[in-house]
Chain A
Amino acid sequence: MSPKALTPLLNVTDLHKSFGTNKVLRGIDFSVRSGEVLALIGPSGSGKTTALRCLNGLESPDSGVVSFAGGPEVAFQPGLPAKKAQVLRDRSAMVFQGHHLFPHLTVLQNVTIGPLQVQRRPREEVMARANELLERVGLEQKSSDYPSSLSGGQQQRVGIVRALMLQPDLLLFDEPTSALDPELVGEVLSVIKELAQEGWSMVLVTHELAFARDVADTVVFMDDGVVVEHGPAAQVLGNPTHERTKAFMQRLLHPF
């Protein structure tokens, strides 16, 4: 693993979020340094996906602060207009569990629409970068195909390229392999691992503990809306100190 810079990139402070009476986040804090890979793990319903979505402004927490070094900083409060959280998307890009590619656009259009139409970068540069990245993930032959003609693993790799094309400082992955057939998981994980080795900063919600141990620098274990344990991947995954973390690991390692 490449040496990591120590410059802070993202600071998340005291996120609270309720859906009705259901308190999903009850004071979440963590930070990400530049080049760091942080894995968010925890049982389903622990709030990890909600926490991740807050970082991209897709979810509006009731309170708390999401702050990127050098801006933007968003202090959430009830009734905060959705527009105010949009600025977070200047720094982060999201890869969804269900890829959410645009079915009516070709692979190339899917990955270039953001840079061309929103960021208004020069067409030549965008096209060159798109072709380079599609080639990197082994999909240069598919650039004029529609997403429906790709396999699940190929679709998710396009989803990753779409996020990379936005030139974010932080990549967000929401269980990027959970919707895939088991034999397709590897091709997606290996792309993510390469990106990690290249020094991309990322926050990764995942159920793949072996992968988290392999790729992540830091692991945050969440349960019931709070951060239970936060530390170096080897320590949290290999030698957890909290009972709840231990029990979770046991359940994943010995499901039967």
Chain B
Amino acid sequence: MDSLWQLALDSLWPMVSGALTATIPLAIISFALGLAVALMVALMRISTNKVVSGIARGYISIIRGTPLLVQLFVIFYGLPSVGITIDPWPSAIIAFTLNVGGYAAEIIRAAILSVPGGQWEAGYTIGMSKTRTLYKLILPQAARVAIPPLSNTFISLVKDTSLASMILVTEMFRRAQEIAATTYEFMLLYMEAAAIYWVICLVLSAVQDRMESRLEKYVA
């Protein structure tokens, strides 16, 4: 039993450092880029131009209709056979960004549409352009609606980064696999990895609560 404790303690730091140097940065970078993609796709989807909104629809449909693991494999193992070789880290970021972009686009689109049309007109009538109205007036109001589902997307993403272990990114779960492979303590190490993911998500949930209550202040 003592040796199990010792192994748990000894493996803790390699795994936590895997979380700090790979899991969390991977999630944050991909989410930030993914949100930018999502906003663009959401605006394309709202567009009255049929071609533009059709492209956005197609993109969302493909991203949501195919497994993330398959998307990772296509980018990392598939593209080299057509002459495009991308390293593990950039491959993972590209795949996660595109994935978040597809899911978050629908969230952002719905949030923008939830803001009453009169808010756009009020922006126009005080002299704002469409773009400025969007950024200054519509998106801040849409954020209140979008934050709970976007938090879900982010929490899913943090856990989904474990899939990057399949394309040779040494993130937290890959550390757990490596240690387990040499010690044969699969149950211990995988439970430890699960616990660390859970702690990260607990922190994220707390952050979400704070953001939500900050945005609720103007609602009577």
Contact = CB atoms under 8 A, between A and B. Distances in A.
Interface string B191-220: 000000000000000000000000001111
A102 B122 contact: yes
A58 B126 contact: no
B128 interface: yes
Given A100-B118, A102-B119, A104-B141, A113 B136 contact: yes
A96 B119 CA distance: 11
Contacts of A93: 125-126
A117 B129 CA distance: 11
B23 to A, nearest CB: 34
Interface in B84-132: 116, 118-119, 121-122, 124-130, 132
Contacts of A90: 127
Contact of B220 (A96, A102, A118, A148): A148
B218 A146 contact: yes
A96 B122 contact: yes
B140 interface: yes
A166 interface: yes
A105 B122 CA distance: 13
B4 to A, nearest CB: 53
B114 to A, nearest CB: 12
A45 interface: no
Contacts of A103: 141, 218-219
A167 to B, nearest CB: 11
A96 B126 contact: no
Interface in B147-170: none
A161 B122 CA distance: 13
A237 B140 CA distance: 46
Given A86-B124, A119-B127, A98 B118 contact: yes
Given A58-B124, A146-B217, A148-B220, A117 B141 contact: no
A104 B119 CA distance: 11
A183 to B, nearest CB: 20
Nearest to A118: B127
A93 B125 CA distance: 6
Given A98-B118, A100-B119, A114 B126 contact: yes
Nearest to B125: A94
A141 interface: no
Nearest to A88: B125
B127 A114 contact: yes
5 smallest CB-CB distances across A and B, nearest first, come from A114-B126, A148-B220, A100-B122, A118-B127, A100-B118
28 contacts: A57-B124, A58-B124, A86-B129, A89-B125, A89-B126, A93-B125, A93-B126, A96-B125, A100-B118, A100-B119, A100-B122, A102-B137, A103-B141, A103-B218, A103-B219, A113-B136, A114-B126, A114-B127, A117-B128, A118-B126, A118-B127, A119-B127, A146-B217, A146-B218, A147-B218, A148-B218, A149-B220, A166-B126
Interface of B: 116, 118-119, 121-122, 124-130, 132, 136-137, 140-141, 144, 217-220
